[in-house]
Amino acid sequence: METEILNNDSEVVQPIAKFRNAYKRYGRTSVILRGLNMTIPTGTIYGLLGPSGCGKTTLLSCIVGRKKLDSGTLFVDVKSKLDVGYMPQEVSLYEEFQIHEIFRYFGLLTNQTEGYIKHREKELAELLDLPPTNRLVCNLSGGQQRRVSMAVALFHNPKFLILDEPTVGLDPILCESIWKYFIQITDVEHKTIIITTHYIEEARNSHTIGLMRSGILLAETSPLRLMEMNNCSSLEEAFLTLSQKQEDIPSDDNYPPATRQPDIFKRSGRIKWHRFAAQIYKNVSWTRRNIPITAFMILLPFLLFTIFLAMLGKDEMDVTIGAVQDEITPGIDDCNTSIPIKSIYGCVAEKRLSCEFISYLRDKSYTVVMYKNLDEGITAVRRNKAWALLYFHKNYTESLLERIDRGKKASNMSLANSLLEVYPDNSIYYIAHRFTWDLHSGFMQFMENFLRNCEIDDRVIKSPLTEGEEIYESIAVRYVGLNGYIIAILYYLAMVYTSSSMVYEKSKGLFERTMVTGLTKLELFSAHCVAQTLMSLCQNGIFMVIFYGYFKLPMKSGIGYLIILIFLIEYYGMMTGFVIVEFIDEERMVTYFGISLVIMIFLTVGMLWPVEGMHWTIRPMSQMNPMRMAAETYRSITFRGLPFTNPLMYEGFLSVGSLVLILLLVYVLKSRND
């Protein structure tokens, strides 16, 4: 049989909230509420007392609709979330904001007029003895921050106030003034207040007291009646007596099966303009308070892409190579001495051919260091003083001329001495590959020029392979991997920008507090899309104008294709951030997951190594990576100039666009389930 709640005139009071046989647990072992029964009368102050961990905060979260019971029933007699004022246990305020900005933000959330916001700000500042409202929240003391937090709960004058530890750390005189205000608004305005507190004697001012321990309500009555029933002179003594009695009662370990719980408040499927405007105001205010960070985020892509291009540098590299010329006698002749050498067919070398070839390499930006003998040169390579050693045999020029003149009739000695021996350091693949290419192509070009001067057809030494017209022109070394790098960076920055802002609000309790005011995830998502779009416009505008406008990076197709592709990639990153935070609440784990994801993209997008050269176990993963398709589309736009009807063009748009829609669907479904 339910106990009726009477007021001072012995009339039955309609409850504003009522729990019956309520159960709630986290996991399988952490049971928070154990068959709790509670009735909160309308127009009264309900003091909820109990030690930390007894379930008070969970109970309040169920009342405001942020959590649901596993079993049992909960009735709340309010029409909308605007009728509820909630002060969580944490401060849950934007630390970068001024006090008046906090009031304006929550005023907009609760659909208040400008006049009301200014009036209420002045009224609450006087009531709660707040510091000047132009002070930043981060510069306030802990007690001052809690008073601002309480003012936010009171700001829109709700009919049902839920205050979790509101008087912790406050001055006793101020506490007395606040309690007088609470008694006044319940008696005169018939508001209902539920207060949790550690200060048991402070709860004497409550109309009703609920003593809670281990998820069970031990008693629920007026303070005086509670002390009379337990023959005690203080509430603390009564609480101790009831706790001891609870210890003598065997606990019931039966946990009922979970049942589907209805929503406490009706869901709003439409975007409310005032709540959307509040989010825009919040984003604008945060930006004004963090101009250096915002400027850094806007310029970061440009800085990273500039570093990337500067890091790759020009096609020629400043590489040191060594050389040993046994055909030059020290002290008698050198490369500056003109010693004409004539072949039997009349072809004349004005200088040693080894000197001519070394001069050619120096013109290609290679630094050539001369060594006395072969052993000294090889030692220099082993000590990392040179990347390769060139060894020219004695009589190298004469032997090479004889080889040209006589062909297959040249002597074995001439054939051996005409060889240029190379001792390379192949520890870095690209340097070794580039040097080998320059050496072979340079030597062929050098010999072709020499033969033409000797009036010999240079085709006799050319390769029988010849290249036809280029289908797509070759690109400079500095552009290799640029498309994959840009895509990965833009994706990562959008993901980090979204996930970091969302997980920050969750970790500080801001997300829960704003949701209690009625804000929906759709409104939060829409406002963040606006912020992300503006951020992307600034980021992309800067680097595109500078790189593709001023520096004239390759752009074969229209710039419009590239703009659409980049925005799709950034929205893909944004949606990834939203979905990550839906499943992971811890800031550290969100960071780890984001870094791991972008590293995997870096490795499989084909930027570091072509997909065709990957191991067969990794190649399918790379080929199915939508970002690889986007990278191919980026390359087709900038380097190939393909029409949109070509699969290499539209596959990237389709793959990334499909992922955006899939992640949006996951986010919507997860939000509805929550």
Least confident of 183-197, 241-255, 375-389, 554-568: 241-255
Q: Per-residue pLDDT tens for 121-135?
A: 999 999 998 999 999
Residue 248 has pLDDT above 70, yes or no: no
Q: With a cut of 60, say whether residue 198 has pLDDT above it.
A: yes
pLDDT tens digits for range 263-300: 777 766 678 899 999 999 999 999 888 888 889 988 88
User: What span, in angstroms and rounded, lies between the C-alpha atoms of 95 and 377?
Assistant: 65
- Please give the pLDDT value at position 4: 44
Q: Is the pLDDT of residue 360 over 70?
A: yes
pTM as predicted: 0.78
Region 81-99: what's the mean pLDDT? 90
- Digit-coded pLDDT (tens) for 302-328: 888 888 777 765 556 778 999 998 888
582 neighbors 669 (Cβ within 8 angstroms):
no
User: Is residue 386 scored above 50 in pLDDT?
Assistant: yes
Taking residues 349-363, what's their average pLDDT? 80
Most confident of 401-415, 476-490, 650-664: 650-664
Q: How far apart are the first and last CA of the chain?
A: 34
Q: Which domains does the chain have, with CATH numbers?
A: 15-244 (3.40.50.300), 276-311+477-673 (no CATH), 320-441 (no CATH)
**Amino acid identity of 360?**
Y
Please report which confidence band the pLDDT of residue 301 belongs to, taking 50, 70 and 90 as the band edges: confident
Kindly write down the DSSP assignment for every residue of 355-408, as one continuous string.
HHHHHHHHHTT-EEEE-SSHHHHHHHHHTTS-SEEEEEPTTHHHHHHHHHHHGG
pLDDT tens sequence across 413-426: 888 888 889 999 88
- Residue 671 pLDDT: 72
Q: Please identify which residue in the block is written with the tokens 């290499």.
A: 648
pLDDT for the residue numbered 195: 92
Q: Are strands 341-342 and 320-325 parallel, antiparallel or unpaired?
A: unpaired
Integer Cα distance of 436 and 421 in angstroms: 12
Note the pLDDT tens digit of each residue in 55-80: 888 899 888 888 889 888 999 988 88
Residue 337 has pLDDT above 70, yes or no: no
- 574-606 pLDDT, tens digit per residue, is 999 999 988 887 888 888 888 888 888 878 887
% of the chain surpassing 90 pLDDT: 24
Q: Find the helix or strand (DSSP H, E) in which 123 lies.
A: helix 114-127
CA distances from 142 to 51, 85, 91, 137 (A): 22, 21, 9, 10
pLDDT of 530 above 50: yes
Q: Torsion over CA of 582, 583, 588 and 594, rounded to 10 degrees?
A: -80
Residue 5: band (very low, low, confident or very high) from pLDDT cuts 50, 70, 90? very low
Question: In sequence order, what are the residues at sequence separation of 6 or more whose Cβ sits closer than 8 angstroms to the Cβ of residue 191?
Answer: 43, 158, 159, 160, 161, 185
Q: What is the mean pLDDT of residues 483-500?
A: 88
Closest-CA residue to 535 (of 227, 314, 297): 297
Q: What does residue 375 show for φ and ψ, rounded to 5 degrees?
A: -60, -40
Of residues 332 and 242, the one with the higher pLDDT is 242
pLDDT band for position 9 (cuts 50, 70, 90): very low
Query: What pLDDT, on the 0 to 100 scale, is given for residue 465?
Result: 64
Task: State the pLDDT at residue 118.
Answer: 93
The stretch 487-511 carries a mean pLDDT of 88
The pLDDT of residue 235 is: 82
- Mean pLDDT for the chain overall: 84
Q: How confident is the model at residue 250 (pLDDT cuts 50, 70, 90)?
A: low
Confidence tier at 339 by pLDDT (50, 70, 90): low
Model pLDDT, residue 148: 94
Residue 10 has a pLDDT of 44
331, pLDDT greater than 70: no
Rounded to an integer, what distance in angstroms lies between the CA atom of residue 4 and that of residue 317? 89
pLDDT score for 105: 94
Q: What's the pLDDT band for 2 if we cut at 50, 70, 90?
A: very low
- By C-alpha distance, which of 274, 263, 282 is closest to 66? 263
Higher pLDDT, 200 or 487: 487
Percent of the chain with pLDDT over 70: 88
Query: Average pLDDT of 227-241?
Result: 83
